[in-house]
Structure 1
Amino acid sequence: MDPHEMPLFDLPTDTSAIDPYPFASGLGEAVASGHMAADWAEALAPVEGELIALAGELETRRASGEQILPAPGNILRAFVRPLAEARVLIVGQDPYPTPGHSMGLSFATLPALRPIPRSLKNIYTELHEDTGAPVPVHGDLSAWAKQGVVLLNRVLTVAAGSAGSHRKLGWEVITDTAMAALAARGGPLVAILWGNDAQSLAPALEGIPTIESVHPSPLSARRGFFGSKPFSRANTLLVAQGAAPIDWSIPVIPPRN
């Protein structure tokens, strides 16, 4: 970078090795610290014990030298906005395993990251072709979350450099309960399920309109993701349920949280 050029985004200070897990003492702590909306805490109350146990396991792993992603304050990011405001659910697998990438929302990245991961780049290509929105210059999807798009990974943490390493650690119980709460609440709601892992959850979302296609990964995007028009289709389904559509465009400067 030219020494006279200012960066477009602030680079956050990494304190992930020392920050406490905001759910270590339970859901009340997560709500009080602003890491979870109160109605999500109510929905997840049946699995509060499992969440506390997860915090203990993560702390043990961190103490042994494992780098855990994303940063503790971002792990519950999908639950910051109220459940009552949810309009679209987009299910991912687990966070990006490269330090500096994941920020707690499925498919999203920290705003300063370059280049954008290939799956997200493919999502942006389809977004442009589907809606005409400009191709975003960063990977922060907070603008979607603020409109009620629940960007939920099935597993909310990962060990740095080891994709899928925290599967079966216990997160599936938490996120299954979250999706059950969405299904029980009902519409207006649309679920976007990309890839076999996400589509396997469709029975748990019975009664919720779903949009399904292959995953946007470079390995599969050309086999049915491109041209699937998930964004315009989601808006059509929302309007049919009496809800406002999502503005899928991504601002050049991400919203402050």
Structure 2
Amino acid sequence: MIRNYFKPVENIGLAAGMPPTKKRGVENTAAPGEPVPVAVALETMPDGPDDNGRKSSSCAAGETGAVQKQKDVEDTEEAQIMKKIEANKLAARKRLIESQQLKLEKQTMAEDWYTAFLPELHKPYFLAIKQALNKELQDGRVIYPALEEIYSFTRCSLKDVRVVIIGQDPYHGPNQAHGLCFSVKKGVPPPPSLNNIFRELETDLGNSAFTRPNHGSLEGWCSEGVLLLNAGLTVRKGEPNSHKHLGWATFTDAIIAHLDKTNMPERDHGLVFMLWGAFAQKKGAKINRKKHLVLTAKHPSPLSANQGGWFGCKHFSKANVWLKEKGVKEINWNHLP
């Protein structure tokens, strides 16, 4: 801009017959004592401090720093977004795997049970149970009951439960177990423990109130509000207690804890728990006796029953007396079609 601005001065000098003056870096040709041409003086002045230049440099540096900070922020935000995306992908993958692992539960559990215990089904220990069962099946093991019958106990609606009978683990013989404690499929001879249960029912209620069925299935009790729950829900063929440490006990403990906290829908009171044998009594040790009626007796297996403590326990009539006192419908123990 300086050169252009002072160009007319150079032209004036030439017009006056003055020798041309070189710009910056050219020797001054003016005679001694004569004034130096303005253009030359300005062009030959040494460069001094440029405040505007320093300010421009500072601004540029500041702008560069601000841009870098903004870029760092954007990089951080982008990293956080990518991290969230990856976390969401992993969570979605986990949900997909779990949904595949819980396909059996969704298809075979009664809807009210599935909904109530869905958080429990997603716990690591339960998914580990499913993995262990799948591995045994892949290894050619035979497991009882059939997979689709593991959760047969949920045929007793959760909201309608009035009596809970706790068993240990399923029968380990062919065609016996079908997801209900002490019960066997129709067409299968009743095991000794079940025969002793029928015998006690006959003496407790009388022949007019109970007629022994010609089969061993207790499925009819499910619609009466009787929950037939084994502590362990599966077993290997011919190997009693073989799935004792599989993790089922944790799941059935959660079921009992849920029932312990749940009041009957008709009235603000509890349930009847029948605990037969030391195992069941230990299983139900934490049940609130102030809220629930807890009946204990020896196990109905011949080994225990014949030593006393089973026959004459009158649990079935005691349960109905208690329910009636609470204004709740009694159990029809004869409902075994």
TM range (shorter): 0.7 to 0.9
| Bigger proportion of residues as helix | 2
Closer, same or farther in 2 for the Cα pair 1:65/1:34, shift >3 Å? closer
Closer, same or farther in 2 for the Cα pair 1:39/1:99, shift >3 Å? closer
Please, which runs of 5 or more residues in structure 1 have no aligned partner? 1-22
Residue type of the partner of 1:147?
A: E
In the aligned structure 2, how far is the partner of 1:75 from the partner of 1:90?
16
Which secondary structure state, in structure 2, belongs to the residue aligned with residue 156 of structure 1? coil
1:196 alignment partner, one of 278, 283, 287? 278
What is residue 196 of structure 2 aligned with on the other side?
A: 122
Q: How does 1:1-257 map to 2 (within 5 A)?
A: 25-26=101-102, 30-31=105-106, 33-43=107-117, 45-49=119-123, 50-114=125-189, 116-132=190-206, 133-186=210-263, 187-206=269-288, 207-222=291-306, 223-251=308-336, 254=337
Structure showing greater radius of gyration is: 2
Larger relative contact order, structure 1 or 2 (CA cutoff 8 Å, min sep 6)? 1
Which secondary structure state, in structure 1, belongs to the residue aligned with residue 312 of structure 2? coil
In the aligned structure 1, how far is the partner of 2:275 from the partner of 2:205?
19
Counting matched residue pairs gives: 227
Residue type of the partner of 1:25?
A: Q
Please, which runs of 5 or more residues in structure 2 have no aligned partner? 1-98, 264-268
In the aligned structure 2, how far is the partner of 1:170 from the partner of 1:138?
32
Which secondary structure state, in structure 2, belongs to the residue aligned with residue 203 of structure 1? coil
In the aligned structure 1, how far is the partner of 2:320 from the partner of 2:142?
39
Closer, same or farther in 2 for the Cα pair 1:215/1:44, shift >3 Å? farther
Stretch deviating more after TM superposition (241-250 or 95-104): 241-250
TM-score w.r.t. length of structure 2: 0.64
In the aligned structure 2, how far is the partner of 1:203 from the partner of 1:241?
23
Stretch deviating more after TM superposition (69-78 or 182-191): 182-191
TM-score w.r.t. length of structure 1: 0.83
Which secondary structure state, in structure 1, belongs to the residue aligned with residue 286 of structure 2? helix
Percent of paired sites with the same residue? 35
